[in-house]
Amino acid sequence: MQVATLEEALSLVAAERLQHRHVEFWGFIDGDKAIIKRQMLTDEPDTPPISSSIDENEILEFAADTAKQLPWLNSTLQKLVGVFVEESTRVGPAWKIFPSPRTAAFNEMEYQLPLDQGFACFKALTEAMRKSAIQVFFPLEFRFVKADDIWLSPFYGQDCVSISIHQYAQQDYRELFALAEPIFRQYGGRPHWGKWHSLSAKELAPLYPRWNEFLRVRQALDPQGKFLTPYMRSLLGVTA
Protein backbone atom coordinates (compact mmCIF):
# COMPACT_ATOMS: atom_id res chain seq x y z
CA MET A 1 0.00 0.00 0.00
CA GLN A 2 1.18 3.52 -0.79
CA VAL A 3 -0.49 6.93 -0.47
CA ALA A 4 0.06 9.49 -3.24
CA THR A 5 -1.69 12.36 -5.00
CA LEU A 6 -4.08 11.51 -7.83
CA GLU A 7 -1.63 12.72 -10.49
CA GLU A 8 1.16 10.69 -8.93
CA ALA A 9 -1.09 7.62 -8.82
CA LEU A 10 -2.03 7.95 -12.50
CA SER A 11 1.61 8.33 -13.49
CA LEU A 12 2.76 5.43 -11.34
CA VAL A 13 0.17 2.92 -12.52
CA ALA A 14 0.79 3.92 -16.14
CA ALA A 15 4.53 3.32 -15.70
CA GLU A 16 4.14 0.14 -13.66
CA ARG A 17 1.27 -1.55 -15.50
CA LEU A 18 3.53 -4.22 -17.02
CA GLN A 19 5.82 -4.57 -14.00
CA HIS A 20 3.23 -6.11 -11.68
CA ARG A 21 0.57 -8.74 -12.09
CA HIS A 22 -1.94 -6.34 -10.52
CA VAL A 23 -1.70 -2.60 -9.90
CA GLU A 24 -4.60 -0.37 -8.92
CA PHE A 25 -5.53 2.65 -6.87
CA TRP A 26 -8.47 4.17 -5.01
CA GLY A 27 -8.77 7.88 -5.69
CA PHE A 28 -10.38 10.39 -3.32
CA ILE A 29 -11.40 13.13 -5.74
CA ASP A 30 -12.02 16.07 -3.39
CA GLY A 31 -8.96 15.37 -1.27
CA ASP A 32 -6.59 14.70 -4.20
CA LYS A 33 -5.37 11.54 -2.49
CA ALA A 34 -4.96 7.98 -3.75
CA ILE A 35 -4.15 4.63 -2.17
CA ILE A 36 -2.05 2.51 -4.53
CA LYS A 37 -1.98 -1.28 -4.27
CA ARG A 38 0.42 -3.58 -6.15
CA GLN A 39 0.32 -7.38 -6.26
CA MET A 40 2.65 -9.90 -7.85
CA LEU A 41 3.59 -13.58 -7.66
CA THR A 42 6.48 -14.43 -5.36
CA ASP A 43 8.26 -17.38 -3.77
CA GLU A 44 9.13 -15.41 -0.66
CA PRO A 45 7.92 -16.82 2.69
CA ASP A 46 4.66 -15.58 4.17
CA THR A 47 4.82 -12.58 6.45
CA PRO A 48 2.85 -12.28 9.71
CA PRO A 49 -0.52 -10.50 9.44
CA ILE A 50 -0.25 -6.75 9.83
CA SER A 51 -1.69 -5.80 13.19
CA SER A 52 -3.31 -2.43 13.70
CA SER A 53 -5.46 -0.80 16.32
CA ILE A 54 -7.26 1.06 13.51
CA ASP A 55 -10.44 -0.48 12.09
CA GLU A 56 -10.47 0.80 8.50
CA ASN A 57 -14.14 -0.07 7.98
CA GLU A 58 -15.23 1.84 11.06
CA ILE A 59 -13.19 4.86 10.00
CA LEU A 60 -14.57 4.69 6.45
CA GLU A 61 -18.16 4.57 7.66
CA PHE A 62 -17.60 7.31 10.22
CA ALA A 63 -15.99 9.57 7.60
CA ALA A 64 -18.71 8.88 5.02
CA ASP A 65 -21.43 9.58 7.56
CA THR A 66 -19.71 12.77 8.75
CA ALA A 67 -19.30 13.98 5.15
CA LYS A 68 -22.98 13.26 4.55
CA GLN A 69 -24.02 15.32 7.55
CA LEU A 70 -21.37 18.06 7.09
CA PRO A 71 -20.55 18.23 3.35
CA TRP A 72 -18.13 21.12 3.84
CA LEU A 73 -15.81 18.69 5.68
CA ASN A 74 -15.63 16.22 2.79
CA SER A 75 -12.40 17.55 1.26
CA THR A 76 -10.67 17.75 4.65
CA LEU A 77 -11.68 14.20 5.58
CA GLN A 78 -10.38 12.88 2.25
CA LYS A 79 -7.06 14.66 2.74
CA LEU A 80 -6.65 12.75 6.02
CA VAL A 81 -6.59 9.39 4.23
CA GLY A 82 -2.82 9.27 4.45
CA VAL A 83 -2.96 9.54 8.23
CA PHE A 84 -4.82 6.23 8.56
CA VAL A 85 -3.17 4.22 5.76
CA GLU A 86 0.32 2.98 6.48
CA GLU A 87 2.67 1.99 3.68
CA SER A 88 3.05 -1.76 3.98
CA THR A 89 4.00 -5.01 2.22
CA ARG A 90 2.41 -8.41 2.82
CA VAL A 91 3.26 -11.89 1.54
CA GLY A 92 0.79 -14.76 1.67
CA PRO A 93 -1.56 -16.99 -0.33
CA ALA A 94 -3.90 -15.28 -2.78
CA TRP A 95 -7.01 -16.14 -0.78
CA LYS A 96 -5.64 -14.08 2.10
CA ILE A 97 -4.08 -11.23 0.13
CA PHE A 98 -6.79 -10.49 -2.42
CA PRO A 99 -9.91 -10.04 -0.25
CA SER A 100 -10.62 -6.68 1.36
CA PRO A 101 -13.53 -7.14 3.80
CA ARG A 102 -15.92 -4.18 3.60
CA THR A 103 -18.66 -3.63 6.16
CA ALA A 104 -19.42 -0.01 5.21
CA ALA A 105 -22.32 -0.42 2.77
CA PHE A 106 -22.32 1.35 -0.60
CA ASN A 107 -23.83 1.20 -4.08
CA GLU A 108 -21.47 0.76 -7.02
CA MET A 109 -21.26 1.27 -10.77
CA GLU A 110 -18.33 -0.12 -12.73
CA TYR A 111 -17.43 0.18 -16.41
CA GLN A 112 -14.59 -1.38 -18.38
CA LEU A 113 -12.91 1.00 -20.84
CA PRO A 114 -10.58 0.16 -23.74
CA LEU A 115 -7.03 0.54 -22.47
CA ASP A 116 -6.32 3.57 -24.66
CA GLN A 117 -9.44 5.36 -23.37
CA GLY A 118 -9.19 4.62 -19.66
CA PHE A 119 -7.03 7.52 -18.50
CA ALA A 120 -9.02 10.09 -20.51
CA CYS A 121 -12.27 8.69 -19.12
CA PHE A 122 -10.99 8.89 -15.54
CA LYS A 123 -9.97 12.52 -15.98
CA ALA A 124 -13.31 13.43 -17.61
CA LEU A 125 -15.19 11.67 -14.81
CA THR A 126 -13.27 13.36 -12.01
CA GLU A 127 -13.66 16.76 -13.67
CA ALA A 128 -17.43 16.29 -13.97
CA MET A 129 -17.70 15.14 -10.35
CA ARG A 130 -15.74 18.14 -9.07
CA LYS A 131 -17.93 20.55 -11.03
CA SER A 132 -21.15 18.96 -9.79
CA ALA A 133 -22.81 19.59 -6.44
CA ILE A 134 -23.00 15.86 -5.71
CA GLN A 135 -21.35 15.00 -2.40
CA VAL A 136 -19.26 11.80 -2.56
CA PHE A 137 -16.83 10.55 0.06
CA PHE A 138 -16.15 7.03 -1.24
CA PRO A 139 -13.20 6.78 -3.67
CA LEU A 140 -13.09 5.82 -7.34
CA GLU A 141 -11.28 2.58 -8.09
CA PHE A 142 -8.91 2.37 -11.08
CA ARG A 143 -7.39 -0.96 -12.17
CA PHE A 144 -6.19 -2.88 -15.23
CA VAL A 145 -7.66 -6.14 -16.57
CA LYS A 146 -6.31 -8.30 -19.41
CA ALA A 147 -8.41 -9.22 -22.43
CA ASP A 148 -10.27 -12.53 -22.53
CA ASP A 149 -12.26 -14.52 -25.12
CA ILE A 150 -15.58 -14.88 -23.27
CA TRP A 151 -18.32 -13.64 -25.61
CA LEU A 152 -20.23 -11.48 -23.13
CA SER A 153 -17.30 -10.56 -20.91
CA PRO A 154 -16.73 -6.81 -20.53
CA PHE A 155 -13.08 -7.65 -21.30
CA TYR A 156 -13.81 -9.56 -24.51
CA GLY A 157 -11.10 -8.95 -27.09
CA GLN A 158 -9.46 -5.96 -25.39
CA ASP A 159 -7.21 -5.06 -22.48
CA CYS A 160 -9.16 -2.71 -20.23
CA VAL A 161 -9.07 -0.06 -17.58
CA SER A 162 -11.76 -0.77 -15.01
CA ILE A 163 -13.23 2.25 -13.20
CA SER A 164 -15.66 1.91 -10.30
CA ILE A 165 -17.63 4.66 -8.61
CA HIS A 166 -19.23 4.21 -5.20
CA GLN A 167 -21.85 6.05 -3.22
CA TYR A 168 -22.42 5.60 0.51
CA ALA A 169 -25.54 3.50 1.10
CA GLN A 170 -27.10 6.22 3.25
CA GLN A 171 -27.06 8.58 0.25
CA ASP A 172 -29.01 8.49 -3.00
CA TYR A 173 -26.77 7.01 -5.69
CA ARG A 174 -28.97 7.88 -8.69
CA GLU A 175 -27.72 11.40 -9.35
CA LEU A 176 -24.06 10.33 -9.23
CA PHE A 177 -24.59 7.33 -11.49
CA ALA A 178 -26.65 9.39 -13.94
CA LEU A 179 -23.73 11.82 -14.15
CA ALA A 180 -21.10 9.11 -14.63
CA GLU A 181 -22.77 6.67 -17.02
CA PRO A 182 -22.86 8.92 -20.13
CA ILE A 183 -19.14 9.60 -19.61
CA PHE A 184 -18.39 5.88 -19.39
CA ARG A 185 -20.38 5.32 -22.58
CA GLN A 186 -18.70 8.22 -24.37
CA TYR A 187 -15.36 6.42 -23.97
CA GLY A 188 -16.63 3.04 -25.19
CA GLY A 189 -17.24 1.46 -21.80
CA ARG A 190 -18.92 -1.87 -21.13
CA PRO A 191 -20.78 -2.23 -17.81
CA HIS A 192 -20.00 -4.72 -15.07
CA TRP A 193 -22.88 -7.21 -15.19
CA GLY A 194 -23.22 -7.47 -11.41
CA LYS A 195 -23.28 -3.76 -10.61
CA TRP A 196 -25.60 -0.85 -11.33
CA HIS A 197 -26.12 0.21 -14.95
CA SER A 198 -29.12 1.32 -17.01
CA LEU A 199 -28.38 -0.26 -20.40
CA SER A 200 -30.81 -2.48 -22.25
CA ALA A 201 -30.23 -4.96 -25.09
CA LYS A 202 -30.43 -2.13 -27.63
CA GLU A 203 -27.42 -0.35 -26.12
CA LEU A 204 -25.53 -3.50 -25.12
CA ALA A 205 -25.60 -5.43 -28.39
CA PRO A 206 -23.22 -3.07 -30.29
CA LEU A 207 -20.66 -3.37 -27.49
CA TYR A 208 -20.22 -7.13 -27.91
CA PRO A 209 -19.11 -8.43 -31.34
CA ARG A 210 -20.55 -11.90 -30.67
CA TRP A 211 -23.79 -10.82 -29.00
CA ASN A 212 -26.03 -12.42 -31.64
CA GLU A 213 -24.02 -15.65 -31.62
CA PHE A 214 -24.49 -15.84 -27.86
CA LEU A 215 -28.25 -15.38 -28.25
CA ARG A 216 -28.40 -18.20 -30.81
CA VAL A 217 -26.50 -20.55 -28.48
CA ARG A 218 -28.71 -19.55 -25.56
CA GLN A 219 -31.83 -20.26 -27.60
CA ALA A 220 -30.52 -23.66 -28.68
CA LEU A 221 -29.60 -24.70 -25.14
CA ASP A 222 -32.72 -23.30 -23.44
CA PRO A 223 -35.52 -23.04 -26.01
CA GLN A 224 -38.22 -22.83 -23.31
CA GLY A 225 -36.45 -20.05 -21.42
CA LYS A 226 -36.35 -21.93 -18.12
CA PHE A 227 -33.21 -20.11 -17.06
CA LEU A 228 -34.47 -16.64 -17.98
CA THR A 229 -35.70 -14.33 -15.26
CA PRO A 230 -37.79 -11.28 -16.21
CA TYR A 231 -34.67 -9.15 -15.77
CA MET A 232 -32.58 -11.40 -18.02
CA ARG A 233 -35.27 -11.30 -20.71
CA SER A 234 -35.15 -7.51 -20.64
CA LEU A 235 -31.36 -7.39 -20.53
CA LEU A 236 -30.90 -9.75 -23.47
CA GLY A 237 -33.93 -8.56 -25.44
CA VAL A 238 -35.50 -12.04 -25.46
CA THR A 239 -39.25 -11.93 -25.99
CA ALA A 240 -40.10 -15.53 -26.90
* Whether residue 107 is found in the same domain as residue 226: no
CA dihedral 110, 181, 193, 39 (to 10 degrees): -20
* Whether residue 113 is found in the same domain as residue 228: no
Query: Picking from 183-192, 199-208, 231-240, which range would have the lowest pLDDT averaged per residue?
Result: 231-240
Query: Which residues span the domain enclosing 108?
Result: 2-197
Structural domain count of the chain: 2
Percent of the chain scoring above 70 in pLDDT: 96
* Whether residue 15 is found in the same domain as residue 109: yes
Contacts of 41 (CB under 8 A, 6+ apart): 21
Is the pLDDT assigned to residue 240 strictly greater than 70?
no
pLDDT at residue 226, as a whole number: 93
* Whether residue 142 is found in the same domain as residue 206: no
* Whether residue 137 is found in the same domain as residue 150: yes
Q: What is the pLDDT of residues 128-175, one digit of tens each?
A: 999 998 999 999 999 999 999 999 999 999 999 999 999 999 999 999
* Whether residue 35 is found in the same domain as residue 132: yes
* Whether residue 19 is found in the same domain as residue 106: yes
Is the pLDDT assigned to residue 51 strictly greater than 70?
no
pLDDT at residue 127, as a whole number: 96
Verdict on whether the full-model pTM lies above 0.75: yes
Query: How many C-beta neighbours within 10 Å does residue 86 have?
Result: 12
* Whether residue 81 is found in the same domain as residue 191: yes
Q: How does residue 53 score in pLDDT terms, banded at 50, 70 and 90?
A: low
* Whether residue 162 is found in the same domain as residue 214: no
Q: How does residue 121 score in pLDDT terms, banded at 50, 70 and 90?
A: very high
Q: Assign residue 101 a region: left if phi > 0, alpha if psi is -120 to 50, beta otherwise?
A: beta
What's the CATH code of the domain at 106?
3.30.70.2520
